[in-house]
Amino acid sequence: MPPGYEKLPAELIRTVDAPPGDGGVLTEFKISWDAPAPPLAENMFWQSYNETLNVDYQPQIAPAGNYDERLATLLAGGDLPDIVQLLDTAQSARAIRDGAFADLSPLLAGDAIDEWPNLANIREDQWRYVAYDGKIVGFPIDLPAYNNEFRYRQDWAEENGYPDPPADAEEFKELFASFSKMGVDGRYGLADAPGTAMIAANAMFHVPIGWRYENGSLTYHQETEEFAAAVQFMTELWEEGAFHPDALSLDANVGQTLSMIPAGTVGISWIATANWFNPGVYYDALQESPDSWAPFVPPHHEGDGAGLFGRSTGVFARVGISSQAAEDEERLKMLLDYCNYLRAPFGSEEHYFLHHGAEGDYFTRSGGGEPTPVEGTSFQPEAAQLTYGLAPVVYDFAGAQDAITINEQYVNNSEMDPCAGLFSDAATRAQPQLDELFESYVNQIIVGNRPLTDLEVYLEQWRSRGGDDMRTEFEEALKARENGE
């Protein structure tokens, strides 16, 4: 669970002695889900960022949907930015393998890392997942062990005679089907399929996370009886009319599906916990009608306990330093100083600056109290794109205690994919096609265009079209990990 803080400490600590930059240009390729930040000339935060860190910061920002194409273009262009955010995609795995990013191990091994105390604070388990082939090729972007939470429309449920959250799979089905039948135009219990409902179904039927590893051999979660039961449950949800009729299209249109949550046209949500506590559309929706979205943890289908949830590795992505930039050791050290600044912990002056801007620009803070916003300014839209990355994830909002209590229930009932952090060439290459295969079979089974028995046909295809290769490669990697490391 991420650490939570309802308040800032009265006295902020200082973790960095001098501005990290050398006044020159610093480029970074990064991913973003936010609207584009205003240009430098109109962006107070960007200006103070350059000044405080002593850099001429020139980010190249890829919207999440275009990330892969943009990265490929950058790689092919031959002139990589100094710092690159590397998601777990085929493209970046390949670039790392080809040596596009500097091996930082020699500089950071042993006590050497103490020169960068904030980087030294990176957790042991996170180092394990950012390493590639035993080399440190970057720093982690944090991801909580379980980042999201389920909520449902409690107000509708009460109206329909369900005062409590669903206690088993049957109740889950009844509840969400009842939302679709309330006679309100455009209102449905569930929106996208497989989507959110499949995640809940997998949890309720205790489908293994990723793979099941027993006696040295792997079974893919979709090959298990549990998964077959979850799919069957999905077909029942569909038959009961719980879904939006265009559920399959909605699954491919994340933006539209998400917009149904604040719009009040869907009864379930599965989004990052922090969304309900930090200002934004979901927060606003909840403020407007506090009885609406209540958290619930999908139960085990028989009603005896909670579902089973997938725990993350704690790493969302890597932040690598380009081999080209690392050739000059002075520059490499400067870039490490820079990363060290960004990684500053909650309660430090650096972290405060990255989340509130310079004193008086967007927030003012006096006497160790809470920061008060400066009227007429808006911090998030100007800063969010620029600061996303290495900063440690913390729940630093009012209600952090509640958020953690909810989060604990997920983490305590979670397992991690035994193959997490392992590389399989077959997996990176074949995954897009296998996802497509899943769509063609499982999606169509769910909406009744194919019989449930086609699940076997799907699995046969899955095995022959890369699944078995993946299994072999992962089994070898697991054995190597057991014997080696």
Partner 1 sequence: MYAFILPGLIFFVLFHYVPLLGNVIAFQDYSPYLGVTGSRWVGLQNFTSIIRDPEILNAITNTLIISFLQLAFAFPAPIALAIFLNSLLSERLKRWIQTIVYLPHFLSWVIVIALWQQVLGGAGSLANGLSLLGIENVNLMSDPSFFKVLVVLQVVWKDVGWGTIIFFAAISTISAELYESAAVDGAGSWRRIWHVTLPGLLPVTVMLLILQLGSVLTVGFEQLLLQQPAVGAGAAQVIDTFVYFRGIAGGDWGVSTAVGLIKGVVGTVMVLGANRLAKRLGTDGLF
For binding to partner 1 (CB under 8 A), which residues are involved? 68, 72-73, 75-76, 78, 89-91, 93-95, 98-100, 186, 244-246, 248-249, 251-252, 428-433, 435-437, 439-441, 443-444, 447, 449, 461, 464-465
With respect to partner 1, which residue has the nearer C-beta, 128 or 465?
465
With respect to partner 1, which residue has the nearer C-beta, 167 or 447?
447
Residue 161: exposure state from Cβ atoms within 10 A (0-12, 13-18, ≥19): exposed
Residue 354 · residue 382 · CB < 8 Å: no
- Residue 427 Cβ, how far from partner 1 at the closest point, in Å? 10
With respect to partner 1, which residue has the nearer C-beta, 109 or 254?
254
CA separation for the pair 417, 421 (Å, rounded): 9
- Residue 73 Cβ, how far from partner 1 at the closest point, in Å? 8
Residue 247 · residue 159 · CB < 8 Å: no
CA separation for the pair 231, 229 (Å, rounded): 5
Q: At what angle do helices 90-97 and 425-438 cross, to 10 degrees?
A: 170
Residue partners of 402: CB distance under 8 A and separation at least 6: none
CA separation for the pair 353, 47 (Å, rounded): 13
With respect to partner 1, which residue has the nearer C-beta, 246 or 415?
246
Backbone angles phi, psi at 67, to 5 degrees: -50, -50
With respect to partner 1, which residue has the nearer C-beta, 387 or 443?
443
Residue partners of 97: CB distance under 8 A and separation at least 6: 132, 133
With respect to partner 1, which residue has the nearer C-beta, 185 or 485?
185
- Residue 195 Cβ, how far from partner 1 at the closest point, in Å? 11
CA separation for the pair 175, 166 (Å, rounded): 7
With respect to partner 1, which residue has the nearer C-beta, 274 or 437?
437
Radius of gyration for the alpha carbons in the chain, expressed in angstroms and rounded: 24
Structure-token pair, residue 279 = 């200002």
Residue 232 · residue 110 · CB < 8 Å: no
- Residue 274 Cβ, how far from partner 1 at the closest point, in Å? 28
With respect to partner 1, which residue has the nearer C-beta, 159 or 436?
436
- Residue 353 Cβ, how far from partner 1 at the closest point, in Å? 34
Long-range contacts of 184-187 (CB under 8 A, 24+ apart): 186/265, 187/264, 187/265, 187/266, 187/267
**C-alpha torsion sign, points 171, 172, 173, 175:** positive
With respect to partner 1, which residue has the nearer C-beta, 305 or 448?
448
With respect to partner 1, which residue has the nearer C-beta, 109 or 252?
252
- Residue 75 Cβ, how far from partner 1 at the closest point, in Å? 4
- Residue 19 Cβ, how far from partner 1 at the closest point, in Å? 32
**Alpha-carbon distances of 222 from 87, 201, 437, 460, rounded to whole Å:** 24, 13, 13, 11
- Residue 246 Cβ, how far from partner 1 at the closest point, in Å? 5
Only one residue has tokens 């002593």, namely 54
- Residue 68 Cβ, how far from partner 1 at the closest point, in Å? 7
Residue partners of 143: CB distance under 8 A and separation at least 6: 312, 313, 314, 315, 316, 393
With respect to partner 1, which residue has the nearer C-beta, 69 or 476?
69
- Residue 255 Cβ, how far from partner 1 at the closest point, in Å? 11
With respect to partner 1, which residue has the nearer C-beta, 37 or 137?
137
- Residue 44 Cβ, how far from partner 1 at the closest point, in Å? 35
Residue 380 · residue 388 · CB < 8 Å: no
CA separation for the pair 69, 178 (Å, rounded): 42
DSSP labels, 58-105: EEEEEEGGGHHHHHHHHHHHT---SEEEE-SSHHHHHHHHTT-B---H
- Residue 261 Cβ, how far from partner 1 at the closest point, in Å? 17
